[in-house]
Amino acid sequence: MQSKFSIKSIIGIAVCSLLLLVSCKNEPVDDGVKPVVQPVNTLCFLPSDLKLTPIVNGSATLSWTPGNDEIQWEVCFGLMGFDVNTAASILCNTNSLLINNLDPTQNYQFYVKSHCTATLYTDWAYPYTYQAPNNACPPVTALNVRRDSMNGTIAFLSWTNGGTETSWEIQYAPAWFHIGTGTIVPATSNPFSLTGFDPTIEYDFFVRSNCAADGNGIWTGPFRLPVFSAPASSDYWPTALNNFWTYNQTGLTQSTGQKKISTMIAGSQPSYQFEPEDDGLAMGPFTKTLRKSNGDYFIKIADITYQLQGFNFTLSGFEYNTLKDYAAVNETWTTSATQNLTSNNPLIPTTTLNVTVDGTLVEKGISVTINGNTFTDVIHVKLMINQTSTVINNSYEDHYWFAKDRGPIKITSTGTGSSYTKEISTFNLY
């Protein structure tokens, strides 16, 4: 049913207070909860980009971007959770509105719809949500949500913590839901996974910090999870017996280096072992295996045994995620592990190293030219590797460039005691 077009001043939770129309001004804008793109009536377009200036002395200006050439807009607001379909509303002749009698400690939702003629108007645009800030519990940032690359019923979430909090709340529902009406689940880890989603439906997600006695932070979102799309066949490190890659090297004692797959280790997720490598560094040759799982590429370094000053030393191996070929640009991931350094020298105790490998997908879909050869569909990854103990503190920054259906075409490494570059010279793939 079409709303009545008269100004109303009603006190209560689902009200539009008496409003004063003003022109747009260059005022600082409170970002609040950002709306995402909403489907439109092709005959009358929704307003978009709703914004609210900071609440000062109980007043703030609501503004929006017109959908097209509409003649008026209908506005309604109330405390979060009010029913916009039964609340009073007001017609406006400009695309901004000065709103009085606001309480900055309360949460509000603001709605706007376009009127293109006397009888043609849109639905309400996705609301702008004002959330009262909680300075004692900062909001999370950099929210990211994705589906499992092979199973569209699973979603993976990650975010940047607002502070030192160790628990959060996640709110989600099919796209376009309003805060307070979604499913809320507690989370005690970041990243976090959820199951049971319909692969054919889009969902919106919000996350907020839970700071115990300091209360909750404001909701961050929405982040849109698209419908599931089975990944196209792609392989950024082809694995087959006898595949090999030869590299021109600088910063190492050998001028050339080779990676060759010599063994396949069978299993539900087969691993492929490379011939032992010797980069000319202090520890000597070592063996790596490559395992791939749904777009994740795991490198496992075997135990390394070497001699130093007449004594034998063994450094235990570990596995880390070196590439996520489905990740978005700037998406990050972390692998944590431990290594034990042992020796037959009775005066040297076993040393445990804590290892973290922080990965970042830096670039995707780029072209890289090496020695006159251009490789397309290249992914650039950065790995920050740290090994720490009471007596050891090593750090390395490695960069890999992976070309689709070709493998690693360039590798650089700088860090404790070493710095080198490898660039592809030849390769042979089966």
* Contact assessment for residue 409 and residue 401, using Cβ atoms and an 8 Å cutoff: yes
Residue 15 forms part of a structural domain: no
Cis before 133 (ω within 30): no
Using CA atoms, how far apart are residues 243 and 259, in angstroms rounded to an integer? 8
pLDDT of residue 231: 61
Q: What is the mean pLDDT of each run of 10 residues along the chain (430 residues)?
A: 31 31 34 44 83 95 92 94 90 94 95 93 92 94 86 91 96 92 96 94 97 94 89 81 90 73 79 79 74 92 88 93 94 95 91 95 96 94 94 93 96 90 90
At 277 the pLDDT is: 73
Give tens-digit pLDDT for 198-224: 999 999 999 999 999 999 999 999 999
Q: Exposed, middle or buried, 316 (CB in 10 Å: 0-12/13-18/19+)?
A: middle
Task: Select from 225, 253, 282 the last residue of a domain.
Answer: 225
Q: Please indicate, yes or no, whether residues 259 and 387 belong to a single structural domain of this protein.
A: yes
**Is the N-terminal amide bond of 191 cis, ω within 30° of 0?**
yes
Check: CB of residue 333 under 8 Å from CB of residue 301: no
Specify the CATH number for the domain of residue 103.
2.60.40.10
Same domain assignment for residues 204 and 78: no
DSSP state, residue 197: -
SS3 60: strand
Q: Report the predicted TM-score, pTM, of the whole model to 2 decimal places.
A: 0.50
Last residue of a domain, one of 130, 152, 174: 130
pLDDT of residue 340: 93
- Are residues 398 and 317 both part of a single domain? yes
* 237 falls within a domain: no
Predicted confidence at residue 29, as pLDDT, reads: 37
Same domain, 125 and 41: yes
The pLDDT assigned to 229 comes to 81
φ/ψ bin of 409: left (φ > 0), alpha (ψ from -120 to 50), beta (otherwise): alpha
Which of 212, 172, 214, 217 lies closest to 192, judged by CA? 172
Q: Is residue 11 part of a domain?
A: no
Host H or E run for residue 257: strand 256-265
Among 417, 370, 379, CA closest to 399: 379
106, 250: one domain:
no
Are both 192 and 297 inside the same structural domain?
no
* Alpha-carbon dihedral sign for residues 188, 191, 193, 198: positive
In terms of domains, do 221 and 276 share one?
no
User: Are 424 and 255 in contact, with CB atoms under 8 Å apart?
Assistant: no
Are residues 24 and 58 part of one domain?
yes
- Alpha carbon distance 121, 1 (integer Å): 11
- Is 163 found in the same domain as 83? no
Q: What is the CATH number of the domain that holds 275?
A: 2.40.360
Q: Is residue 10 in a domain? A: no
Are 110 and 29 in the same domain?
A: yes
Question: Looking at the structure, do residues 378 and 283 belong to the same domain, yes or no?
Answer: yes
Instruction: Identify the domain containing residue 342 by its residue range.
Output: 244-428
How many domains is the chain partitioned into structurally? 3
- 347 and 276 in a single domain? The answer is yes
* Among candidate residues 80, 101, 130, the one where a domain is terminated: 130
- Taking the C-alpha atoms of residue 346 and residue 98, their distance in angstroms, rounded to an integer, is 78
- What number of other Cβ atoms are within 10 A of residue 127's Cβ? 22
